[in-house]
Amino acid sequence: MNLVETLRHHRLLAIVRGKDPVAALRTVRTLVEEGIAAVEISLTTADALDVIRQARAELGPDAFLGAGTVRSAADAARAVDAGASYLVTPALVDDLAQYGVPVLMGALTPSEIEAALARGADAVKLFPGSLGGPGYLRALRDPFPEVPFVPVGGVDAQAARDYLAHGALAVGIGSPLVGDAADGGDLDQLRVRAAEFRTVAAGGTP
What kind and span of H or E run contains 124?
A: strand 123-126
Report the candidate in 11, 2, 12, 1 with the shortest Cα–Cα distance to residue 173.
Answer: 12
**How far, in Å, CA of 76 to CA of 95, rounded?**
9
Report the candidate in 14, 7, 2 with the shortest Cα–Cα distance to residue 42.
Answer: 14
DSSP letters for 80-117: HHHT-SSEE-SS--SS-GGG-S-EEEEE-SHHHHHHHH
Selecting among 112, 125, 146, 196, the annotated active-site residue is 125
Selecting among 40, 112, 114, 196, the annotated active-site residue is 40
Each as own residue / partner, the long-range contacts of residues 137-143 (CB below 8 Å, 24 or more positions apart, any chain) are 137/163, 137/166, 137/167, 137/168, 138/166, 138/167, 140/110, 140/113, 141/166, 141/167, 143/110
40 annotated active-site: yes
- How deeply is 86 buried, as exposed, middle or buried, from its count of CB atoms within 10 A (0-12, 13-18, 19+)? buried
Catalytic positions are 40, 125
